[in-house]
């Protein structure tokens, strides 16, 4: 997806929301941590300790250069290495829809982490629905790729995601729904599945 | 001890001409085997300049058959520079404009440091088989005494590949306050049964050579060249990946048709025989035995209820662990065991998996992705030192 403008603090708005959810001094695993921006920010502002997981070699070097702990591995392979409840939070931003089995990945995330922070593009947004009604796969600010070259293979709506959480007995502790500039609004609160473009969840496993 | 101005024939990023120095250490060294060395010498090369606070020193630990000559040239006639020249020098990852790099020939080695092929003052003859078997912990102790002699209280970083990486790990566990950063490359938390099996065959090749003479071959004016050659040939198989061997040597006959004899008929035979022979000319059989045993004994978790994480809880260094995708001698899975233990122990660690072709030997190669991440890590090491290091 395209990255929205950064906040005045220099952080992407969705990452700013996530960092507010994280208790100071926590242990964190950031899956697909990119160049380590979030972990770097959290280390500086909330004294968290943690690791990023990243598959891209250039990003791994960027993390190392800024002093962010990073483990080069893909998500499925990498999570197996961590003990149960090794982290207070495991963060997965805008990647869920690209995984082979999002349900299994979330189960594994909630094994490794006490809590999970998950963000994804909402496939129920009106712009998506409108384009499907016109008979074409949607192209939107949060879903900019063509159907044939998109990494997204398991897109879901806000309602779909919450149904999965209920079925798996995952408690949603917090939810934040944003538009594509990653801001909240009245319309989103009134009809979230129609107006939210980006969904952020804080989950815990009840079982 | 420092490299002089680089003469014309050497590239600008070379440390140029270097002269090894022998450092005498007169402090008794208690060894894991129970014996004590009253004194010993270490052959050392250094590159760059130690700053006023001695905070910019990096220790380079060598692998099985390595030595102190890691960078630069010993004479203008040298055909090849030191074994890690592509990584050490002005502007290279181990940047000698910022760091004071220390590279030694390990105790028990055969390149000038006290070892089986040196004189034993007690017996009045060469040590040979009387030289004690050593462990990686013994090497760490001996290197700590070297650091004392050089006035280095704490290494800015310790770095090494393969057996060198194991020494780095051991440093961070045994003397945590003396290492700020640790770079463990193409290593393993301990040897597998398969690793030990290869070492055992190599040792048997040497031990069963009639010219080994129980390790006293020096006195017979012979070397167990057949055994040492075989040991090295075997080693080289484990240093290369199947794909790399196929690409380099193929399996085509050198002649048009089979000759039906045991002369060299395939390229790989020619390569292995050459590698084996050139090793005989530069290496000592007793040292080879000793080095392989040190590898086999390495297991830092042993003293901590077989928990590597427990061992690493003592450590305080920031780690960089690097593995190579085509390495099957110490595969990426072995490096991940180290990473897993470090994470469990709550240590700072980054792990890079380098996409590679050659195999275990890739840790010596100037792979851009590898040097980029190594450079990024060493940039952090340099930043921790601060701007006190005077450029050379």
Query: CA A6, A9, A13, A15: dihedral to nearest 10 degrees?
Result: 110
Q: Which residues on B lie below 8 Å from A83 (Cβ)?
A: 344
Contact (CB, 8 A) for A41 and A7 = no
Q: So what's the pLDDT on residue B390? A: 42
Q: Which of A26, A30, A50, A69 best tests the B interface by mutation, with the highest count of B CBs <10 A?
A: A69
Contact (CB, 8 A) for B332 and B195 = no
For residue A1, is it within any domain?
A: no
The answer on pLDDT for B168 being more than 90 is yes
Count of beta carbons in the 10 Å neighbourhood of residue B125: 12
Q: Which residue of A has its CA nearest to B376?
A: A65
The answer on pLDDT for A85 being more than 80 is yes
Query: CA B25, B31, B34, B37: dihedral to nearest 10 degrees?
Result: -20
- CATH numeric code, B21-190+299-385: 3.40.50.1820
Q: What is the CATH number of the domain that holds A152?
A: 3.40.50.150
More confident residue, B2 or A96: A96
Contacts of B15 (CB under 8 A, 6+ apart): B3, B6, B47, B48, B71, B72, B85, B88, B89, B90, B96
Q: What is the mean pLDDT of residues B22-44?
A: 98
Long-range contacts of B27-32 (CB under 8 A, 24+ apart): B27/B145, B27/B148, B29/B107, B29/B138, B29/B141, B29/B142, B29/B145, B30/B141, B31/B132, B31/B134, B31/B135, B31/B138, B32/B134, B32/B135, B32/B137, B32/B138, B32/B297
Interface of A with B (CB under 8 A): 27, 49, 51, 57, 60-65, 67-73, 81-83, 86
Question: What is the domain range of residue A53?
Answer: 13-205
Size of interface A-B (CB pairs under 8 A): 57
Q: So what's the pLDDT on residue B389? A: 47
Q: What is the mean pLDDT of residues A137-156?
A: 94
Question: Does B336 sit within 8 Å of A57, measured CB to CB?
Answer: no
The answer on pLDDT for B8 being more than 80 is no
Q: Which residues on B lie below 8 Å from A63 (Cβ)?
A: 350
Question: Does B373 sit within 8 Å of A61, measured CB to CB?
Answer: yes
The answer on pLDDT for B1 being more than 70 is no
The answer on pLDDT for A207 being more than 80 is no
Nearest to A60 among B343, B373, B379 (CB): B373
Contact (CB, 8 A) for A60 and B322 = no
Q: Which of A81, A88, A90, A113 best tests the B interface by mutation, with the highest count of B CBs <10 A?
A: A81
Query: B306: which 2 tokens?
Result: 């077989």
More confident residue, B4 or A169: A169
Give chain A's domain count. 1
The answer on pLDDT for B387 being more than 70 is no
Interface of B with A (CB under 8 A): 320, 336, 339-340, 343-344, 346, 348-355, 369, 372-373, 376-377, 379-380
Q: So what's the pLDDT on residue A7? A: 52
Question: Does A81 sit within 8 Å of B373, measured CB to CB?
Answer: no
Q: Which residue of A has its CA nearest to B339?
A: A71
B348 to chain A, closest Cα gap in Å: 6
pTM: 0.93
The answer on pLDDT for B156 being more than 80 is yes
- CATH numeric code, B196-292: 1.10.1740.110
For residue A5, is it within any domain?
A: no
For residue A6, is it within any domain?
A: no
Parallel, antiparallel, or unpaired: how do β-strands B181-185 and B157-161 relate? parallel
β-partners of residue B103 are B45, B60
B246 to chain A, closest Cα gap in Å: 27
Question: Domain locations in chain B?
Answer: 21-190+299-385, 196-292
How far, in Å, CA of A108 to CA of A79, rounded?
A: 7
The catalytic residue among B85, B174, B209, B327 is B327
User: What does the pLDDT look like over A5-34, one tens digit per residue?
Assistant: 555 456 788 888 999 999 999 999 999 999
pLDDT band at A180 (very low <50, low <70, confident <90, very high): confident
Q: Which residues on A lie below 8 Å from B353 (Cβ)?
A: 72-73
B162 in active site: yes
User: What does the pLDDT look like over B228-273, one tens digit per residue?
Assistant: 999 999 999 999 999 999 999 999 888 889 999 999 999 999 999 9
Question: Does B320 sit within 8 Å of A63, measured CB to CB?
Answer: no
pLDDT band at A75 (very low <50, low <70, confident <90, very high): confident
Question: Does B372 sit within 8 Å of A71, measured CB to CB?
Answer: no
Question: Does B340 sit within 8 Å of A70, measured CB to CB?
Answer: no
Q: How far is CA B352 from CA B301, B335, B346, in A?
A: 23, 10, 18
Summary mean pLDDT of chain A:
91
How far, in Å, CA of A197 to CA of A187, rounded?
A: 12
């Amino acid at each position: 997806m395209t990255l929205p403008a950064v906040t005045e603090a220099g952080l992407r708005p969705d990452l700013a929301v996530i960092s507010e959810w994280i208790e100071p001094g926590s242990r964190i695993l950031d899956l697909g941590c990119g160049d380590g921006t979030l972990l770097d920010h959290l280390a500086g502002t909330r004294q968290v300790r943690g690791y990023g997981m990243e598959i891209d070699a250039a990003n791994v070097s960027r993390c190392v250069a800024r002093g962010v702990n990073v483990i080069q591995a893909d998500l499925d392979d990498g999570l197996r290495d961590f003990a149960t409840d090794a982290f207070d939070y495991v963060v997965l931003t805008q990647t869920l829809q690209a995984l082979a089995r999002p349900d299994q990945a979330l189960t594994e995330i909630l094994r490794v982490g006490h809590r999970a922070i998950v963000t994804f593009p909402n496939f129920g947004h009106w712009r998506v629905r409108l384009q499907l009604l016109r008979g074409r796969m949607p192209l939107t600010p949060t879903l900019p790729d063509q159907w044939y070259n998109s990494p997204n293979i398991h897109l879901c709506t806000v309602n779909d995601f919450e149904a999965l959480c209920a079925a798996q007995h995952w408690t949603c502790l917090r939810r934040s729904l944003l538009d594509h500039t990653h801001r909240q609004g009245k319309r989103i609160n009134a009809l979230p599945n129609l107006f939210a473009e980006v969904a952020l969840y804080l989950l815990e496993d009840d079982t | 001890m420092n490299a002089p101005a680089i003469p014309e024939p050497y590239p600008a990023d070379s440390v140029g001409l270097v002269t090894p120095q022998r450092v005498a250490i007169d402090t008794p060294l208690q060894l894991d085997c129970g014996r004590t060395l009253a004194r010993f010498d270490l052959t050392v090369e250094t590159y760059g300049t130690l700053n006023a606070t001695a905070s910019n020193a990096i220790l380079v630990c060598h692998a099985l058959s390595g030595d102190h000559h890691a960078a630069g040239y010993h004479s203008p006639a040298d055909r090849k520079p030191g074994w890690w020249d592509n990584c050490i020098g002005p502007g290279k990852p181990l940047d000698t404009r910022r760091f004071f790099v220390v590279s030694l020939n390990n105790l028990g080695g055969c390149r000038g440091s006290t070892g089986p092929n040196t004189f034993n003052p007690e017996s009045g003859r060469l040590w040979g088989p009387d030289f004690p078997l050593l462990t990686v912990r013994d090497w760490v102790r001996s290197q700590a005494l070297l650091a004392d002699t050089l006035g280095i209280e704490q290494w800015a970083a310790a770095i090494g590949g393969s057996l060198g990486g194991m020494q780095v790990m051991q440093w961070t566990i045994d003397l945590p306050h003396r290492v700020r950063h640790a770079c463990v490359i193409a290593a393993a938390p301990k040897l597998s049964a398969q690793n030990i099996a290869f070492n055992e065959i190599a040792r048997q090749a040497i031990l069963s050579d009639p010219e080994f003479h129980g390790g006293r071959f020096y006195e017979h004016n012979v070397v167990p060249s057949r055994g040492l050659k075989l040991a090295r040939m075997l080693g080289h198989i484990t240093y290369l990946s199947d794909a790399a061997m196929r690409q380099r040597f193929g399996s085509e006959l050198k002649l048009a048709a089979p000759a039906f004899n045991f002369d060299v008929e395939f390229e790989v035979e020619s390569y292995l025989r050459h590698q084996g022979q050139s090793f005989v000319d530069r290496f000592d059989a007793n040292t080879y035995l000793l080095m392989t045993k040190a590898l086999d004994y390495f297991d830092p978790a042993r003293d901590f209820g077989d928990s590597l994480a427990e061992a690493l809880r003592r450590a305080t260094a920031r780690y960089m662990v690097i593995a190579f995708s085509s390495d099957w001698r110490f595969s990426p899975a072995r490096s991940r065991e180290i990473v897993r233990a470090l994470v469990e122990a709550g240590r700072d660690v980054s792990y890079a998996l380098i996409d590679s072709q050659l195999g275990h030997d890739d840790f010596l190669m100037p792979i851009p992705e590898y040097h980029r991440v190594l450079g990024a890590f060493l940039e952090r090491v340099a930043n921790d030192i601060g701007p006190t290091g005077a450029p050379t």
